[in-house]
Amino acid sequence: MKPRFLITAGPTREFLDPIRFLSNRSSGKMGYALARAARPYGTVTLVSGPVALKPPQGVTVVAVTTAQEMAEAVLKRFDETDVIIMAAAVCDFRPRRVAARKIKKDGFSGLLELVPTVDILAALGKRKQHQILIGFAAETNDLESNAREKLRRKNLDLIVANDASAMESETNRVTLFYRDGRVERLSEMPKTRVAQAILRRIIALRT
C-alpha cells in the first residue's frame, strides 16, 4: 500500500489586531517542493500557511493561517497518515490578546505580551504510533546541538537542519540527523533536488 503523506509548509501569522500580525521569513518553497517530490510515492496532503506559491498538482491543499489552525488541521489527519513532514515555520509565540480594532499609534502602551503557541511537533511525537515523523530545524547558531536536542525531545525519526538564511532562498544546504545517530550532510542544491533527496531517504526508512 502506498504511503499517505502529510506535509506542512510556509509560515503562520499571529494577529495583534485585524491588520497587523507576527510572522517569519518562511516562503514555503521547501514544503511545497517536498509535496511535489512525495506525490509519485503516494497520496499527499499539504497543510499550508499563507504563501505566494502555486498549489502542487495532484496534492490536497489545506490552507491555514495561525499556529492553532495548523495544529487542528494536522492533528485531525494524523492518525490516518503514514509519513508526516513538518516543514512549516510555525510561530513560537502569539499575542496574549488580539485587539478587536486597529491599534492606534498614540494608544499603544509600548508593551506587547506574548504567550507560546501550541507545539505541534511535540504533540505529534507523543501521539505517534506507526507513523514516521520528520521535523525541520532552521537555526542561526549551534545548528548540530540544537537539531539533536529537538530530535530527541520531540521523538522524531529524522530531523532536517539548515541555516536560517535559506528561508527565502531557491537553494538549501541541509544536514540530516537520524534517530539511530547517523548524520548525513548534503551539498547545497536547489530546493527541488533537496526535497527529492529527502524523500528517497524517508522511503528507505519505511523499508
Each domain of the chain, given as residue ranges in start order, spans 4-94+113-205
Model pTM?
Answer: 0.94
> DSSP strand E in the chain: where?
4-9, 14-15, 21-22, 43-48, 60-63, 83-86, 93-95, 114-116, 132-139, 158-163, 171-172, 175-178, 183-185, 189-190
With cut-offs at 50, 70 and 90, classify the pLDDT of residue 56: very high
The DSSP 8-state label assigned to residue 155 in this structure reads T
Active site residues: 24
Convert the pLDDT of each residue in 162-190 to its tens digit: 987 777 788 999 999 999 999 999 999 99
How many Å apart are CA 156 and CA 129, to the nearest integer? 12
CATH superfamily of 4-94+113-205: CoaB-like (3.40.50.10300)
